[in-house]
Amino acid sequence: RVRTIRPGRVPGPGNGLQAPHLAISVFGRGLIKRLATRLYFSDGEGNDVDPILTAVPEARRGTLIAGHGDDGTWWLDIVLKGENETVFFDL
């Protein structure tokens, strides 16, 4: 569980704007290096033109998009292995 404010759009490559997102690093026993991913909001302005999100195959983008709860919270399951494995970025 993480508490944060919802970010706005930020500058991206080519003078464009990235969609609001959170950068997430995962560390854990058995991991040689950190795993880097992003959380995007399902209603995020600019998701359709975000240069990072649109570089991910459409069938895999859902692993980066947070669901919205009725109580105003957002959730994203980070899956380390298997069919619905979260997209991780090699930074």
**pLDDT score at 39:** 98
Residue 26 lies in a domain: yes
Residue type, 37: T
- For the beta carbon of residue 75, count every other beta carbon within 10 angstroms: 10
Sheet holding 65-68, edge to edge: 21-26, 35-41, 65-68, 74-75
**Model pTM score:** 0.91
Q: Give the model's pLDDT for residue 90.
A: 92
Q: How many domains does the chain have?
A: 1
Range of the domain at 34: 10-75
- Structure tokens that stand for 75 in this block: 């959730």
Give dist(CA 23, CA 82) in Å, integer: 22
| pLDDT tens readout for residues 51-77 | 999 999 999 999 999 999 899 899 999
Residue 38 falls inside a structural domain: yes
- Looking at residue 72, its pLDDT comes to 86
Asked if the structure places residue 87 within a domain, the reply is no
Integer Cα distance of 4 and 90 in angstroms = 25
Segments in the chain below pLDDT 70: none
